[in-house]
Structure 1
Amino acid sequence: MRLYTVPWWIESAWGHPPPLLVAMMGRLCQSYVSAVALAVIVLGPSIVSAALSSDRKASQAKDMGEGRPIHAVIDERIKVILDQAESDNDYTKASHAASVLFDKVLAWAPAKDTRSFVKVAYARRLLRQLRLARFSDTTAMLRYLRRNQKLARTLAFFVHPFESPAEIYRLVDRLRIERGDKLDQYANLVTAICCVHDQSLVRRVNENQVLAADPVELFDYFVRYRKKMYYGVVNMPPELLVFVVDSTATIGQMQWALQRYEGDGNIGDRFFEIKYDRNHFRYGSAKRVTIEGFNLSNILKYGGVCADQAYFAASVGKAIGVPAAYTYGRSGQLSHAWVGFFVARNKQGFWNFDVGRYNAYRGVQGITENPQTRQPIDDSTVALRAELVPSSVSDRHAAVAMTDAARRLAVLLQDDRLLSSDPFGQDVSRIMDQSRTVDSDQCLKLLEVGLRRCVGFAPGWQVIAEMAEAEQLSLDQKIRWSGLLLKFCGRKYPDFAFDVLRPLIGTIRDVDEQISTWSNAFKIFQHRSDLSASVLMAQGEAWEAAGRLKKAGECYRRVVQRYANAGPFVINALQNSERILVALGMADRVIALYRSAWGLVDKPKDAFSEFRKQSNWYQIGMIYVEKLNEAGKYRTAERAAARIDQVLGAS
């Protein structure tokens, strides 16, 4: 029971009573115990606990030694490495020295000391990138970056470790020469442009090809109109900004879009603003927009199909400063394109991938392009980037640094190598008593520290998948991290969660345990037809690998029976079912398998023949005809082929 309330002015100013007050009470007593007892009576147990905690922390800090903090020592050593690189122009040696220092920090720094990891990760990344860039005057670039620290750090932490930095830094060098006085102020914009436009950006929108503007012209556009950009370009994280600067509209067309739509963040409305060219969809006639010239103003004037609608909406979004993505997917009948765009509310953000995504496509994966790598990426992995919005720059850099550390430790673990146990230095404080061991627990500890700082940093989660594939995780670790992944990502970012989850569960050696874990995952993904089918396929593959073919066949058949009209994955399920039947000596049932599946899928309609050929009905029907011919059932095959021709020719 608290008998005395400390005045508000003491609590607000100190958080707990001044140490002097506690000391005075101690002098009134003959022993430390009686002082504490009196303090508990007068001040209350919670306040005394806080004071004693401060004493303990001070004692612990003293026990750590009187040497300099490790991060201060790291700063000195990095400066020596960078100075030497400027002096002798030997970036191979400098990069090696930074890597050695990184390993030293990895060996001795506590996982919670993210500041030390960030410092050394920055130096290691920067010098590696400069070493691989190999352009004429690397030292001039290093000096420039050391004078422009915001740009240097943004670049170093954003360029992917597996990405070739040569063309990126050549573009940085060009911007340095032509726009040098502005780059540090627009570090995020420069980084996004250089990582997207390090190679010419060319895209196809059905029959039309579009080419991005010159990168320097793009930089000038976004700087000139920075105050008109819906979300700005200065503070937006480069992970989002790449979906703004990857525009393939001309500068003139971007200006046209900005003049017309400035301040209107409802990018989804732009999709439906484009009238649909039904003659092209039904009969395959040439589109008017293609004849007149493919650009934004002509799309608005003449209309187009879903690909043109999605391209128009995404391009307008980019022109006005809204991250946007042309997205596509396939149902059981047709491919379709729609738009995804970023929305910010109350210091939070999310991606909207629902506009133009008709019901047939809500249960299948949406695919877009990663502007940085030019590789396909699913829409939920893009959506995960919205989690970066509430995080600070230091949080994002900490996540990168701790992921680098975990990945390095995982490489050492795979190669069965140890970290050096040589001491960091006698004058260094705040380090661990013993050097870090190379094991999966330490890897996961480092990753967890990074992900707690920035939970939306996808590469951190992907390291866990890499460790699972390398057989570096125990069953308990797989189950724990599967649970964490599903809790955070399962419902909000299902495609991303499934991609990370697949190796975590798929490498569980006990087949019954693996099947059970997949069944638990199925409950999370059951609202998505394609992911539910993927779970069943994974279970089938697990049973098949264990030699339990009948159970495998049951899983594949469930995919066909439940999801025949949901997406193209039913074709794989049929092919797997066929393989099982043959292995079980039931090859005579293969024709019946395809005949039954063909009867389950819907016929395509309201599209000209080339579109109808995308459908499951057409593709399964053609396989069925092929199997009939192989079996010598030519008349039945002819009737089935005639039926297909009739549907293709129908208008």
Structure 2
Amino acid sequence: APADQDPVAATWVWLADAPLTPRGSRAPDQSPGPNALDLAIQELKITSATRNPQILVRPALAARLGTQLASLPIEERLPLLKYLAAHEELAAELAFLLDPRDDIPAAYRVLARLLEAHGDRVAELAPLAAAICAVHDQPKDRHINENTLPLIDPVELFGYYATHERQMRFSLAEAPTATPATLLVHLADATGTIAEYDWARTRYRRDKNIGNRYKEIAYDTRALTDDGYVKRVTAAGGYSLQTIRELGGVCADQAYFALSVGKALGVPACYVRGKGGETSHAWVGFLEQTGRQSTRWNFTAGRYAEFEDVQGTLLDPQTGETIPDAFLSIVAMSTSASLERRQDSLALVDAASRLGFLASRSSGGQGLGPEVVAQQLDLLESALRTDLGNLRAWIFARNLLTRPTTTLAQKEHWTMAIDQLAAQVHPDFAFEMLAPIFAAESDLDIRFNLWDWAATRFGGRPDLAARARLAQTHIMLEQGRQSDAILAAHAVFTQHPDAGPYAVEALVLAERLLEEAGRQEEAMAMYAQAFETLKAPRRLQKDFLAQTSWHQIGTRYAELLEAAGETRQAESLRRRLGR
């Protein structure tokens, strides 16, 4: 496109007769978007782009539209072109949300269905429409233990939210205060039926805390004690919100009920799982307002104390991948950024990606040189300082920083940047970003020092500090310092006995190292001391008791007593453990 021509306008014209491109491929170089983006990157220079990212938004949008819509056959493409060209806010919401992992032609086919059924309401609720298209391009059933639940049809689901828009807790409309589509995907993966959602909306419309709905469901305790037992709600058939409320269930059903009520009220919500010891547990996560333009994810409802140090995971509705709950926490920060700043941030990420593509192509696929990586990292840091909730920018930067060619200075700079941007409010997320960067450092002494910094920085979180000290212990083993590693592993427990699974992991490692060193007799004394350090937990169901550090360490101590011939003491300990 000529320098004075808007690249998006030129892209609409080009797409009218552009050839079909295979799914997953980039738009041809003759399309206006990539050319305009290249000009913005190369002629305006990286420093200009990071100071003024608005110069990248139109070229980045044009490049995305050209790539995405060219993957549709011309007969499907043309009707969409006319509408999207007249409603560029909708075009931008969907184009910037879609990811290469999406089935992009299928996503635009969902959009065509929405437009046919709901007309201009789709453009009015552009963030919601984009979220529904991104989730329903590859619809997959959800499984709540033994119950399988299909997604609600996208046309019906959009109709529900459009009809009851004013009753929804979070804004769905295209407006300065609209909820970002990256959060609305956690509405778009709704399962069950519209009738259930109508029931939930009517019954709980005044409910201010979705987490309360988790506890509302009575626990079907026989499911914990009787292996052959079929839950009442499953045995009744017709799994639904109403039957769960009537008949109760286990943690999975409690979480599903609460998240479904949340979605019915327009609250993005998700099903979170965690495993501690031998026991899995499910709880609910939901978005809550913390200020006029700020939100956060609440993961406390149903997350018993025994699982506070267990990492929760959830299904990303858009990609179908399993992600840590910490990732979702950072995405909520996007509500503090305006739509313009969110798009500026996404355009900076696209520029970093395009820069890498151009460099790789010009080098014949020989990899990226240090100068290019440095420029990419500058663009990504600017993206994050523009919108802290841009998860793509975080992951892109983390992946670059794990490359062998990354310099120590770059790692140290980004360690401080991650600390400044995320560690104070989102320590779990900051740790998840730093861990692979530190682990990729080849120099063992430098890696040890990086983890030492982490253990101090996250000292207020026993679980994170213990993970850092365990990483140092493994470095000692790489260095051949087995005796030091035994002491270090034991110290992880003595310094952080309340670190949950990481405290147990440290003792197990120390035991293995003692055995390898021919010092097995010391293991029993170590477990005896550790067990007496811990307090017995409050009364818990057997399955939840089994995942506590107290129970796991006590169980292993009893096994060691048994092996040493201390049968009576082992039996006494097992009675104390409730086995």
TM-score higher than 0.5 here?
yes
Q: Aligned ranges for residues 127-138 of structure 1 at < 5 Å?
A: 127-132=66-71, 137-138=76-77
Query: Which residue number in structure 2 is paired with residue 84 of structure 1?
Result: 14
Taking the aligned partners of 2:466 and 2:72, their CA distance within structure 1 comes to 44
Q: Aligned ranges for residues 91-240 of structure 1 at < 5 Å?
A: 91=21, 94-97=27-30, 98-109=33-44, 110-111=48-49, 112-132=51-71, 137-234=76-173, 235-240=178-183
Aligned counterpart in structure 2 of residue 461 of structure 1, from 385, 394, 403: 394
Taking the aligned partners of 2:351 and 2:556, their CA distance within structure 1 comes to 50
Answering whether residue 214 of structure 2 is matched by residue 271 of structure 1, we say yes
Kindly provide the amino acid, as one letter, of the partner of residue 255 in structure 1: D
Query: Which residue number in structure 2 is paired with residue 428 of structure 1?
Result: none
Give the Å deviation of 1:355. Answer: 2.8
Contact persistence 1:387–1:455 (CA under 8 A): yes
Query: Which residue number in structure 1 is paired with residue 299 of structure 2?
Result: 353
Give the Å deviation of 1:595. Answer: 8.1
Answering whether residue 234 of structure 2 is matched by residue 290 of structure 1, we say yes
Contact persistence 2:17–2:74 (CA under 8 A): no
Taking the aligned partners of 2:496 and 2:144, their CA distance within structure 1 comes to 29
Contact persistence 2:310–2:501 (CA under 8 A): no
Contact persistence 2:224–2:543 (CA under 8 A): no
Answering whether residue 187 of structure 2 is matched by residue 257 of structure 1, we say no
SS in 1 for 2:389: coil
Query: Which residue number in structure 1 is paired with residue 330 of structure 2?
Result: 384
Measured against aligned partners, the alpha-carbon deviations of 1:385-419 in whole angstroms (never above 9, x if no partner) come to: 22111211110011111012123334556778499
Query: Which residue number in structure 1 is paired with residue 409 of structure 2?
Result: 476
Aligned counterpart in structure 2 of residue 532 of structure 1, from 465, 489, 494: 465
SS in 1 for 2:34: helix
Give the Å deviation of 1:226. Answer: 1.0
Aligned counterpart in structure 2 of residue 541 of structure 1, from 474, 481, 499: 474
Contact persistence 2:306–2:547 (CA under 8 A): no
SS in 1 for 2:125: helix
Aligned counterpart in structure 1 of residue 340 of structure 2, from 394, 399, 407: 394
Aligned counterpart in structure 1 of residue 256 of structure 2, from 304, 311, 319: 311
Taking the aligned partners of 1:318 and 1:120, their CA distance within structure 2 comes to 35
Taking the aligned partners of 1:211 and 1:591, their CA distance within structure 2 comes to 55
Query: Which residue number in structure 2 is paired with residue 38 of structure 1?
Result: none
Query: Which residue number in structure 1 is paired with residue 372 of structure 2?
Result: 439
Taking the aligned partners of 2:525 and 2:356, their CA distance within structure 1 comes to 49
Contact persistence 1:556–1:577 (CA under 8 A): yes
Measured against aligned partners, the alpha-carbon deviations of 1:81-107 in whole angstroms (never above 9, x if no partner) come to: 442331243447954333344223211
Query: Which residue number in structure 1 is paired with residue 244 of structure 2?
Result: 299
- Computing the radius of gyration from Cα coordinates, the structure with the larger value is 1
Aligned counterpart in structure 2 of residue 409 of structure 1, from 355, 359, 368: 355
Give the Å deviation of 1:319. Answer: 0.3
Query: Which residue number in structure 2 is paired with residue 493 of structure 1?
Result: 426
Give the Å deviation of 1:328. Answer: 2.9
After the TM superposition, which of the residue ranges 376-385 and 284-293 deviates more from structure 2?
284-293
Taking the aligned partners of 1:437 and 1:548, their CA distance within structure 2 comes to 34
Contact persistence 1:410–1:467 (CA under 8 A): no
What do you get for the CA RMSD once the two structures are aligned? 3.7
- Structure 1: any 5+ residue segments left out of the alignment? 1-70, 420-435
Give the Å deviation of 1:200. Answer: 2.7
Give the Å deviation of 1:597. Answer: 4.3
% of aligned pairs identical?
33
Taking the aligned partners of 2:427 and 2:16, their CA distance within structure 1 comes to 47
Taking the aligned partners of 1:134 and 1:523, their CA distance within structure 2 comes to 57
Taking the aligned partners of 2:572 and 2:108, their CA distance within structure 1 comes to 58
After the TM superposition, which of the residue ranges 568-577 and 454-463 deviates more from structure 2?
568-577
Give the Å deviation of 1:625. Answer: 10
Contact persistence 2:183–2:331 (CA under 8 A): yes
Contact persistence 1:330–1:568 (CA under 8 A): no
Answering whether residue 464 of structure 2 is matched by residue 519 of structure 1, we say no
Taking the aligned partners of 1:397 and 1:364, their CA distance within structure 2 comes to 34
Query: Which residue number in structure 2 is paired with residue 321 of structure 1?
Result: 266
Contact persistence 1:412–1:418 (CA under 8 A): no
Kindly provide the amino acid, as one letter, of the partner of residue 83 in structure 1: V
After the TM superposition, which of the residue ranges 344-353 and 216-225 deviates more from structure 2?
344-353
SS in 2 for 1:321: coil
Question: TM-score with structure 2 length normalisation?
Answer: 0.84
After the TM superposition, which of the residue ranges 173-182 and 476-485 deviates more from structure 2?
173-182
Kindly provide the amino acid, as one letter, of the partner of residue 308 in structure 2: R
Contact persistence 1:574–1:594 (CA under 8 A): no
After the TM superposition, which of the residue ranges 491-500 and 521-530 deviates more from structure 2?
521-530
Taking the aligned partners of 1:552 and 1:414, their CA distance within structure 2 comes to 42
Contact persistence 1:333–1:604 (CA under 8 A): no
Kindly provide the amino acid, as one letter, of the partner of residue 265 in structure 1: K
Give the Å deviation of 1:348. Answer: 2.0
Kindly provide the amino acid, as one letter, of the partner of residue 244 in structure 2: I
Query: Which residue number in structure 2 is paired with residue 449 of structure 1?
Result: 382
Instruction: Sort the Cα spacing of 1:568 and 1:506 in 2 relative to 1 into closer, same or farther, 3 A.
Output: same
Taking the aligned partners of 1:82 and 1:380, their CA distance within structure 2 comes to 39
Kindly provide the amino acid, as one letter, of the partner of residue 461 in structure 2: R
Query: Which residue number in structure 2 is paired with residue 20 of structure 1?
Result: none
Give the Å deviation of 1:135. Answer: 8.2
Taking the aligned partners of 2:67 and 2:223, their CA distance within structure 1 comes to 51
Give the Å deviation of 1:201. Answer: 3.5
Contact persistence 1:307–1:336 (CA under 8 A): yes
Give the Å deviation of 1:266. Answer: 1.3
Taking the aligned partners of 1:91 and 1:200, their CA distance within structure 2 comes to 23
| Higher RCO, Cα 8 Å, sep 6+ | 1
Contact persistence 1:327–1:340 (CA under 8 A): yes
Give the Å deviation of 1:120. Answer: 1.1
After the TM superposition, which of the residue ranges 453-462 and 395-404 deviates more from structure 2?
453-462
SS in 2 for 1:328: strand
Instruction: Sort the Cα spacing of 1:94 and 1:200 in 2 relative to 1 into closer, same or farther, 3 A.
Output: closer
Kindly provide the amino acid, as one letter, of the partner of residue 239 in structure 1: T
Taking the aligned partners of 1:246 and 1:534, their CA distance within structure 2 comes to 34
Contact persistence 1:276–1:303 (CA under 8 A): yes
- Structure 2: any 5+ residue segments left out of the alignment? none
Aligned counterpart in structure 2 of residue 343 of structure 1, from 288, 297, 303: 288
Question: TM-score with structure 1 length normalisation?
Answer: 0.75
Kindly provide the amino acid, as one letter, of the partner of residue 528 in structure 1: R
Give the Å deviation of 1:440. Answer: 3.4
Instruction: Sort the Cα spacing of 1:169 and 1:448 in 2 relative to 1 into closer, same or farther, 3 A.
Output: same
Query: Which residue number in structure 1 is paired with residue 440 of structure 2?
Result: 507
SS in 2 for 1:341: strand
Taking the aligned partners of 2:467 and 2:74, their CA distance within structure 1 comes to 46
Contact persistence 1:613–1:619 (CA under 8 A): yes
Instruction: Sort the Cα spacing of 1:488 and 1:144 in 2 relative to 1 into closer, same or farther, 3 A.
Output: same
Measured against aligned partners, the alpha-carbon deviations of 1:97-146 in whole angstroms (never above 9, x if no partner) come to: 33344223211222223222111111112222234456862343333322
Taking the aligned partners of 2:129 and 2:578, their CA distance within structure 1 comes to 52
Taking the aligned partners of 2:164 and 2:288, their CA distance within structure 1 comes to 20
